Amino acid sequence: MTDPASLADRVQEGELRIHELEAEADFDTAAEARRLLVERKTDADLEAIGDYAFPAERAEPNIENMIGAAQVPMGVVGPVSVSGGAVEGERYLPLATTEGALLASVNRGLSVIGSAGGADARVTKNGMTRAPVFRVDGVAEAAETVEWVEDNLEALREAAESTTSHGELLGVEPYVVGDSVYLRFAYDTKDAMGMNMATIATEAACEVVAEETPASLVALSGNLCSDKKPAAINAVEGRGRSVTADVVIPGDLVEDRLHTTAEAIVEANTRKNLVGSAKAGSLGFNAHAANVVGAAFLATGQDEAQVVEGANAITTMDARNAEDGATDLYASVSLASLEVGTVGGGTKLPTQSEALDVLGLRGGGDPAGSNADALAEIIAVGALAGELSLLAALASNHLASAHEDLGR
């Protein structure tokens, strides 16, 4: 076994180089050496960070300068009862978070949804986008470029799809701003989240545009994609998967289990999620969809920065008259740009792949894209459960007491 002090000395004195260890595929020793140096430089104790449960080699594609792992507590909610386009029945949803009371709240919502017969969910749109920006001399060249793109979609599709055996170019939407031309490419990336796939494919298509038009490529991403930033275009046009989940909850179930009424929840949703969000200038009109999206992303190996778009959601509630004269609650959540995958990226890490196993969704589905669609539908139902539970707590004035009991 390597003596830690000796290892740190050898690295610090230049006798041993960390990049040489990585070149020899000795990733655990490299991580240990780097961690020991950081401890020596900062006087921090990194024992817990260094106590990770998988070979550092497994994380090599996902991180540089590794010193260990951040361990976020993971729990499970469910069963999630869903009737979807890609998934049917009951699944358990792993969530990783440090927020006390979150899983208890989501579980309460899921229990009510299950007692109401389950939620429906559908992916209504699918397309990962990348939008390069080109320079032209002026609007005449911009119009010429746009016209060529619109007339030669097949040539762009051939170039883009030559870089991947899975991705399919769905379309290209041009936008002109002065002497800048933006081309928003959209791809079906199947079961991959697909950002890298879309980027590489778009680069190949851009070479064709630059050869055939007056336009010169300035940047492969012109921020009209729009990745990892709040953007109205994602709310309107979607990015990744647009998915909606809804449920009708009988009025007596609302009163017995949520301790309030359909009318009270509808009013809370209108005044908080709709009017309040509008007054704040929010792009999302929901209570806390980011909680479930973020926790599911961490648990299943999604790109955590894309919670920015993934939580771009609208929650609606409506009181409906039932045949027996009672007032039922219709509840829905629509996530406009949920970027998820079940292959590639962080989904291959050991703990994250195990979480996907809990869902029964590790790897590619049959047909291609079905596993990622199923994951999107399950997350949407989880988010709906969270919205129901929080709005009920607000409508019944139980929010503070719940956090006192569970938030610790």
Torsion of CA 58, 63, 68, 73, to 10 degrees: -90
Residue 403 is among the residues annotated as catalytic for this protein: yes
Backbone angles phi, psi at 361, to 5 degrees: -130, 20
Task: Return d(Cα 36, Cα 30) in angstroms, integer.
Answer: 10
Residue 157 · residue 106 · CB < 8 Å: no
Catalytic member of 26, 188, 259, 403: 403
- Respond yes or no: is residue 151 known to be catalytic: no
- If 0-12 CB within 10 Å is exposed, 13-18 middle and 19+ buried, where does residue 189 land? buried
Please write down the long-range contacts of 90-93, taking CB distance under 8 Å and 24 or more positions apart: 90/114, 91/359, 91/360, 91/378, 92/358, 92/359, 93/296, 93/358, 93/359, 93/378, 93/379, 93/382
Catalytic residue among 28, 99, 141, 263: 99
Residue 317: CB partners within 8 Å, gap ≥ 6? 265, 266, 269, 270, 329, 330, 331, 332, 391
Asked if 120 is an active-site residue, the reply is no
- Which of 26, 161, 303, 304 is catalytic? The answer is 303
Q: Of 181, 334, 317, which Cα lies nearest the Cα of 262?
A: 317
Q: Which value, in Å, is the radius of gyration of the alpha carbons in the chain?
A: 24
What is the DSSP track for 370-400?
HHHHHHHHHHHHHHHHHHHHHHHHHHTT-HH
283, 149 in Cβ contact below 8 A?
Answer: no
Running DSSP on this structure, what letter comes out for residue 98? S
Q: Would you please indicate which residues are annotated as catalytic (active-site) residues?
A: 99, 303, 403
